[in-house]
Amino acid sequence: MSILKDKNILLGITAGIAAYKSANLVRLFIKAGANVKVVMTPASKDFITPLTLSTLSKNPVYSSFTEDGDDSQVWNNHVDLGLWADLLIIAPATANTMAKMANGVCDNILLATYLSAKCPVYFAPAMDLDMYKHETTKASFEKLISFGNKLIPAGTGELASGLVGEGRMAEPEDIFNYIEKDILDQLPLKGKRVLITAGPTYEAIDPVRFIGNHSSGKMGFAIANAAAGLGAEVILVTGPTHQKTGNNFVTVNPVTSADEMYNEVHKHYKETDIAILSAAVADYRPKNVASQKIKKKEFTFTIELEKTKDILKSLGEIKSHQFLVGFALETNNALEHAKGKLKSKNLDLIVLNSLQDKGAGFGVSTNKVTFITSTNEIIENDLKSKREVAQDLMELILKQTHA
């Protein structure tokens, strides 16, 4: 999954021959899971049709403040477009448009949107060699960069005039990669490794049966995606679950039993910066596992159980630089038990959720949690989606670690 997934991307297209490449750029953003809208200068429609771009983006294309032939004269609100966007990308950016951007000229909807945008702005110049090297163009570059806009360098190659040199708009794949890398490099957990556990564990009784619980893994997977969205390299150790992440920055290591999860977690813990153990690990397992399926003979059947290894406690005992987060699911005296677990297992933060809260617990898409820090700060939360809970958790970890 790309870091651009679910981002609102506004693509501005100006009147250069390189506008034909913008169709492929739209496709790359859509394939990455982004939401794309296109704003064109009126003259750019001579180079690529709005129909092509609206079909690819699955959204209307804006090229004027009102629609041509629209008797009702509905206004295309450039302010709303600018505020909608998480990213504004102008590709191609002609010398004419860049000069206007640099000097506050506002004579079309793209320029009005640019002046209204509150998001990061990227621009990919495209023009002939002499225009690209002209002092006024250089001045436009410098001014736009001084405003905080990001220049995507032009390439060198054959130009529309027949000349060969600098000024060719970067290829769509290069623009895409440049933006993705630039965003990743600015994320707070870039270069950090986050270890997460998720789902249940299954403890075998015989080759057919097991002891398990109702954990779906949804919470752990949501945390993994939230951590990856902040730039972390994520190792997700998960028990049996149907959940999928599809995120390129999450490595999923499936396990079955508590013992397997213990070993897998310890394999990665030393190189971990943040460990979040949200898995519902079985506290007990059958002491003896039958090698063959147990036949139903008696009216009663007794299984002798033994304790599993306490993964969370074992990590707390060897913790050095790691920020360690545990989860507590309680049915009574929840706060007291969670505080006890926080201290006894040497945690930095614990996430408490109760089966008494409607909409919280196993199998559902929502959760109601309380965060308790190592300084006994208690942060209660309302019922939220597990995705929102995961984002809240990661924000709190960032504050606690000053990442």
How does pLDDT run across 335-376, given as a tens digit for each residue?
899 999 999 999 999 999 877 777 777 778 899 999 999 999
| pLDDT-wise least confident of 74-88, 211-225, 314-328 | 74-88
Percent of the chain with pLDDT over 70: 95
Q: What pLDDT score was predicted for residue 22?
A: 95
- Of 150-164, 179-193, 243-257, 260-274, minimum mean pLDDT range: 150-164
Residues 344, 290: Cα–Cα separation, whole Å: 35
- Tell which phi-psi region holds residue 129, choosing left (phi > 0), alpha (psi between -120 and 50) or beta: alpha
211 has pLDDT over 70: yes
- Structural domains in the chain, sorted by start: 8-186 (3.40.50.1950), 193-401 (3.40.50.10300)
Quote the CA–CA distance of 13 and 236 in Å, as a whole number. 40
pLDDT digits (tens, 9 = 90+) for 27-60: 999 999 999 999 999 999 999 999 999 999 999 9
Report which of 153, 159, 158 is spatially closest to residue 93, judged by C-alpha positions. 153
Joined tokens for residue 196: 């997460």
Which has the minimum average pLDDT: 205-219, 265-279, 347-361, 373-387? 347-361
Q: What is the pLDDT of residue 128?
A: 83
Per-residue pLDDT at 161: 66
| Percent of the chain predicted with pLDDT > 90 | 78
Which H/E stretch holds residue 314? helix 311-318
Query: What is the pLDDT, as a whole number, of residue 358?
Result: 77
- Burial class, 14, CB count within 10 angstroms (exposed 0-12 / middle 13-18 / buried 19+): buried
The pLDDT-based confidence of 73 (bands split at 50, 70, 90) is low
State the pairing for strand pair 203-204/210-211.
antiparallel
Q: Out of 24, 77, 96, 213, pick the active-site residue.
A: 213
Pairing of strands 284-286, 305-307: antiparallel
Q: Give me the chain's average pLDDT, please.
A: 92
Give the contacts of 382 (CB within 8 A, at least 6 positions apart): 368
Query: Which pLDDT does position 165 carry in this prediction?
Result: 64
User: What's the burial of 217, exposed, middle or buried (CB within 10 Å: 0-12/13-18/19+)?
Assistant: buried
Q: What is the pLDDT of residues 76-97, one digit of tens each?
A: 778 889 899 999 999 999 999 9
pLDDT tens by residue, 389-399:
999 999 999 99
Is the per-residue pLDDT at 70 higher than 60? no
Calpha distance 13→90 (Å, rounded): 6
pLDDT at 163 over 90: no
Residue 376 appears among annotated catalytic residues: no
Give the whole-angstrom CA distance, residue 130 versus residue 136: 11
Closest CA relative to residue 250, chosen from 269, 231, 277: 231
Beta bridge partners of 167: none
DSSP codes of every residue in 144-180: HHHTT-EE---EEEE-TTS-EEEEEPPPHHHHHHHHH
Confidence check: pLDDT of 156 > 80 = no
CA distance from start to end of the chain: 23
pLDDT value at position 157? 72
DSSP-assigned states of every residue in 360-394: -SSSSSEE-EEEEETT--EEE---EEHHHHHHHHH
Q: Name the pLDDT band for 194 (thresholds 50, 70, 90).
A: very high
The 3-state DSSP class for residue 264 equals helix
102 pLDDT tier (thresholds 50, 70, 90): very high
Q: What pLDDT, on a 0 to 100 scale, did the predictor assign at position 258? A: 97
pLDDT of 402 reads 81
Instruction: Report d(CA 393, CA 227) in Å as an integer.
Output: 10
Residue spans of alpha helices (H) in 10-91 = 22-31, 50-57, 78-84
pTM for this one?
Answer: 0.81
